[in-house]
Amino acid sequence: MSNLIDGKTQAARLREEIGRQVSRLRQRDLITPGLAVILVGEDPASQVYVRNKATQAREAGMASFEYRLADSVPQSKLLDLIERLNRDPEVHGILVQLPLPPQIDEARVIQAIHPDKDIDGFHPINVGNIATGGHGMVPCTPLGCLMLLKHRLGELSGKRAVVLGRSNIVGKPMASLLLHEHCTVTVAHSRTQDLAALCREADILVAAVGRPGMVKGDWIKPGAAVIDVGINRIEADGCTRLVGDVDFGSASEVAGAITPVPGGVGPMTIACLLLNTLQATCRQYDIPVPDDLVSRAWDDAAAEPV
Ligand code: NDP
């Protein structure tokens, strides 16, 4: 078995299964899950993310509503729009693409989204639910990482996990999810000392620092599972290339399993956004979502220990 974790293929299969569930919801219950995406400003990377999210939502049979606001939009206008979408029965999930321009208080905006429609899982109520192991919306990127890890490794209990990065959107929720899987988790950040030695202890290493190629092969315990969350744009030979936080060349010689960039965590993040939108819709109508949705999508590839 190759040590490559193919997030692109896994995500495509998950999206297909989500599409089947959406189609059932539309036919049987006459409900079309609706995703509203708000983009403020013209950041080129954010525009690409928003376009991909909206396209993939439509491909899965969902209704997609896009709102593009000027960079200079006052916070009150954005909050008014969110309030309107909170009340809109055709909208089941709301996403505000981050980052936001400086005149807008990100925390205030996140708190304005109704927790039931917070498909990014950033609202404090959803953050609290993850921290306490309750049922809530789980942030898409760490959720996608966890799915890839569970699929590849099977049982995670007892494994030593190191999460590089402590952001609210990746590092901290990732650490909580791994803790709930009974891993022994260390969260590292820019003040952590002797990062390389710490990483070498990890059976599971998740890198989310935003530093191109920072994690080298000799930071990795032989056979470890390495999840590279980083998306860094670098200029090489006159063109822009996407690279992760892990030096893939050296790391893939040592790792037992490793995600590439692109084609690893990124596609899973969008698939999990669709999954969260489906789940948010079902919860709003008290319709159960099949527990085995992910295994239905992936069941012919049985989990194998690294
Ligand atoms: P943030 O900038 O919010 O957080 C980065 C974290 O890395 C911080 O905790 C910071 O420490 C830590 N860090 C930075 N430099 C170092 C260093 N030299 N050594 C150790 N720790 C360091 O980033 P995000 O969490 O939002 O994103 C991380 C990466 O993941 C980015 O490349 C981003 O583009 C990518 N990303 C990818 C997604 C996907 O779908 N694949 C989704 C979201 C993000 P400190 O707290 O001390 O400052």
Q: Is the pLDDT of residue 36 over 50?
A: yes
Residue closest via CA to ligand 1's atom 42 equals 141
Residues 46 and 152 in one domain: no
- Round to whole Å and give the CA distance between 275 and 294: 9
pLDDT of residue 112: 98
Label residue 160 by pLDDT band (50, 70, 90): very high
Report if residue 76 sits inside a domain: yes
Q: Is the pLDDT of residue 236 over 90?
A: no
Just list the catalytic residues. 53, 97, 120
pLDDT in tens, 109-148: 999 999 999 999 999 999 999 999 888 899 999 999 999 9
Among 257, 266, 268, CA closest to 305: 257
Residues 261 and 170 in one domain: yes
Closest ligand 1 atom, residue 265 Cα: 41
pLDDT in tens, 3-19: 999 999 999 999 999 99
Q: Is the pLDDT of residue 303 over 80?
A: no
Residues 161 and 227 in one domain: yes
pLDDT in tens, 172-212: 999 999 999 999 999 999 999 999 999 999 999 999 999 99
Report if residue 262 sits inside a domain: yes
DSSP reduced 3-state for 224: coil
Domain final residue pick, 114, 148, 163: 114
Domain of 150, CATH number, reads 3.40.50.720
- Round to whole Å and give the CA distance between 141 and 143: 5
- Round to whole Å and give the CA distance between 159 and 150: 12
- Round to whole Å and give the CA distance between 227 and 224: 10
Per 3-state DSSP, the chain is made up of helix, strand and coil in percentages (nearest 5) of 45, 15, 40
DSSP reduced 3-state for 133: coil
Distance 269 CA to ligand 1 centre (A): 15
Query: In the structure, which protein residues have their CB atom closer than 6 angstroms to any atom of ligand 1?
Result: 141, 164-167, 169-171, 188-192, 195, 208-211, 229-232, 265-266, 269
Residues 72 and 167 in one domain: no
Report if residue 281 sits inside a domain: no
Residues 99 and 170 in one domain: no
pLDDT in tens, 20-30: 999 999 999 99
Report if residue 121 sits inside a domain: no
Q: Is the pLDDT of residue 304 over 60?
A: no
Closest ligand 1 atom, residue 170 Cα: 25
Report if residue 157 sits inside a domain: yes
Closest ligand 1 atom, residue 192 Cα: 20
- Round to whole Å and give the CA distance between 214 and 230: 10
Q: Which residues span the domain enclosing 97?
A: 27-114
What is the pTM assigned to this prediction?
A: 0.96
pLDDT of residue 300: 63
Q: Are 145 and 269 in contact (CB under 8 A)?
A: no
Q: Is the pLDDT of residue 306 over 60?
A: no
Report if residue 144 sits inside a domain: yes
In percent, the amount of the chain with pLDDT more than 90 equals 91
- Which strand (E) or helix (H) includes residue 237? none
Report if residue 33 sits inside a domain: yes
Residues 158 and 223 in one domain: yes
Count of domains observed in the chain: 2
Q: Is the pLDDT of residue 152 over 60?
A: yes
Report if residue 177 sits inside a domain: yes
Residues 52 and 96 in one domain: yes
Domain of 65, CATH number, reads 3.40.50.10860
Residue 111: other Cβ atoms inside 10 A:
16
Distance 185 CA to ligand 1 centre (A): 17
Q: Structure tokens of 6?
A: 């193919």
Distance 252 CA to ligand 1 centre (A): 21
Kindly give, in sequence order, each residue whose CB lies less than 8 Å from that of residue 258, ignoring residues fewer than 6 positions away: 3, 4, 5, 225, 226, 227, 228, 246, 248, 251, 252
